[in-house]
Amino acid sequence: MACALALAVVGARVMQAIGGPEHFSQTYDAVFHLNSVKYALDTGNASSLTIGDMTGGGFYPAGWNAVATLVASTFALDVPVAVNLTSIVLAAVFWPLGCVLAARWTIGRSSAVALAAGIASASLGAFPLLMMDFGVLYPNLLSISILPGSIALAAAISRVSPVWVPRDLSAVLALLLSLAGLLVAHPTTFMAWLTWTAPMVGVLAWKAFKLRRRGLLRLGRARFMVPLIGYCVVFLILWIVLRPPSDASFWARTIRSRKLSAKPLFSLRWICLPPGWWHRWRSWAFGRRWGGFGTNGSQESS
């Protein structure tokens, strides 16, 4: 129900913004993106290692270009039609599904949580429409659409999910594939994933520290600290390497810091929190299984 509602609202709004199947974006970057799809169709190669040859460049993260090329070749569509179809599916299907999955795996499985996540995913003003208006930022549209699902998989594997979710090899492989997709779609979104998962790493480190102090976890100091320090070092290096230079932000400031700090307080995402709080309070008050562990300390099974 939540996904269907978000699909209908976002899909209708995106199709209204596009106007027609054959219409294409009248923006600067659309020239490159549409021609790159045509170039990939002509050469039969949409690799990130070769797509930049169209303009004489080198490596280019061509995840979105490869997806749009696959759609065009599979359904024998013209480039503008394939691009619009790809945008609609990413915005109206992948994005809401990822948001609902992330909410259910990080807050709880209640219907209220799923409905709130579906409504929130369809209520944002900046995404997905801004990605198709400014730029045009098709690669960001792809990478951000799969970001919530990647966060949900990280929550499952790190065992910080409040409900039972798959934690087997298939979940690990799915996370690795999603992270590869983030990197070849737009590397900056991978940094967003690292930022969102940093609290999970902190929770795991705190739990391991408490278990180690109680003698329940036989883990040497080196084996305990090396993974944590390694994560921080990788985060810092990637932040420096992948972050665009300040010269790339040549436009004037459009919002003051005080307004920016107040925005999260009035964000529509907060509508997801009351159902989650109610679910957790009810689980605690009535002694139900919560946090992936039973009241007797045994892990909940499927």
CA dist 221 to 71, 200, 208, Å?
51, 20, 11
- Tell me how many domains the chain contains: 2
Does residue 103 fall inside a structural domain?
yes
- Give the pLDDT score at 107: 84
Distance CA 247, CA 253 (A): 13
168 and 65, same domain (yes or no) = yes
> Which carries the bigger pLDDT value, residue 101 or residue 302?
101
**Structure token digits, residue 178:** 């999603």
124 and 238, same domain (yes or no) = no
Instruction: Identify the bridge partners of residue 293 per DSSP, sorted by sequence position.
Output: 290, 299
Q: Does residue 277 carry a pLDDT above 70?
A: no
DSSP state, residue 130:
G
Average pLDDT, integer, range 227-233:
78
Note the pTM of the prediction, 2 decimals: 0.75
Does residue 302 fall inside a structural domain?
no
- Give the pLDDT score at 46: 87
Low-confidence winner among 21-35, 85-99, 134-148, 260-274 (lowest mean pLDDT) = 260-274
Is residue 78 very low, low, confident or very high in pLDDT (cuts 50, 70, 90)? very high
Classify residue 129 as exposed, middle or buried by CB count within 10 Å of its CB (0-12, 13-18, 19+).
middle
207 and 86, same domain (yes or no) = no
Average pLDDT, integer, range 7-30:
88
Does residue 294 fall inside a structural domain?
no
Distance CA 97, CA 118 (A): 8
10 and 81, same domain (yes or no) = yes
Does residue 144 fall inside a structural domain?
yes
Q: Does residue 295 carry a pLDDT above 60?
A: no
45 and 112, same domain (yes or no) = yes
> Which carries the bigger pLDDT value, residue 246 or residue 198?
198
Rg of the chain over all Cα atoms, to the nearest angstrom: 22
153 and 233, same domain (yes or no) = no
Average pLDDT, integer, range 257-268:
51
Q: Does residue 69 carry a pLDDT above 80?
A: yes
Reference 155, options 291, 271, 283; nearest CA is: 291
- Give the pLDDT score at 290: 34
194 and 218, same domain (yes or no) = yes
- Give the pLDDT score at 294: 34
Does residue 293 fall inside a structural domain?
no
Does residue 290 fall inside a structural domain?
no
Average pLDDT, integer, range 153-166:
78
22 and 163, same domain (yes or no) = yes
121 and 194, same domain (yes or no) = no
Q: Which of 17-31, 70-84, 261-275 has the highest mean pLDDT?
A: 70-84
**What is the span of the domain harbouring residue 202?**
188-243
Is residue 289 very low, low, confident or very high in pLDDT (cuts 50, 70, 90)? very low
161 and 196, same domain (yes or no) = no
